[in-house]
Amino acid sequence: MPTLITVSDATAGPYGITVGPDGALWFTLVHAGDLGRLAPDGRVDRFPVGAGPSLVTTGRDGALWLTLNQGNAVGRVTIDGEVTTFPVPTPGAGPFGITAGPDGALWFTELNADRIGRITVAGAVTEFPLPTTGAYPSTITAGPDGALWFVEIAAGQVGRITVAGAVTEFPLPDRACRPHAIAPATDRLWLTEWGTGRLAAVTPDGAVEEYELPGPAGSEPHGLVVGPGGTVYAALETGAIARLGAEDR
């Protein structure tokens, strides 16, 4: 039976979460405008960061980095709670997904601007436009090939961007599949297809394989993670976790 730990009231909106370099859990409170820290001993601290904190990750500088979707900025928070924010140049860009890149910078998506952003640990921001208009790029991760990979919800595509900024887009078989989350494995990327109830695997050269999920229609998958041995786990709206092992494919 899972254990529940209260970190806020429901109105604060716990959303993104990551393990910090200090061994604590760091999480965003999207409605409250805070970044929270849950220590191993159960203590909860909250740090005001700005409007709409969404996803959070750990940078190579040992700080927490997060997107401020409504504040149109990227935030940096040290493990001591010191907050710095860096505005995104494009107005109303809607930063959302964020990940640490192989080049030491942080890479993030801009939902409303069809761009991928890159921010150095010193706060210098570069933006790279996508070929597709209205793509709605969402989550992003570092791939096994040294590039960054992201999903385009509205376009039904997976995107790849090199650390030099070269973008390639790969259409998925059903452009209405609404890809949501993306996670790396040793030789491919895995993603959820919320609109079709499938998981998909994409190789670095863009080859796509899709896998039907068990359960009733409407088993929309959201987040996913790749566990030991390459087993993929996806969270479904039906209240279940789907497991796809090597023996299932």
Predicted local distance difference test score (pLDDT) of residue 34? 97
Predicted local distance difference test score (pLDDT) of residue 87? 98
222 is catalytic: yes
Q: DSSP H helical segments within the chain, as ranges?
A: none
Instruction: Look at domain 1-129 and name its CATH class.
Output: mainly beta
Instruction: Using DSSP, state whether 168 is helix, strand or coil.
Output: strand
DSSP secondary structure code for residue 23 in this structure: S
| Tens-digit pLDDT profile for residues 53-108 | 999 999 999 999 999 999 999 999 999 999 999 999 999 999 999 999 999 999 99
Domain positions in the chain: 1-129
Closest to 160 measured CA to CA, from 176, 177, 182, 180: 182
The model carries a pTM of 0.94
Q: Which of 175, 222, 243, 249 is catalytic?
A: 222
* Interval 135-146 mean pLDDT: 97
Contacts of 10 (CB under 8 A, 6+ apart): none
Closest to 120 measured CA to CA, from 166, 74, 165: 74
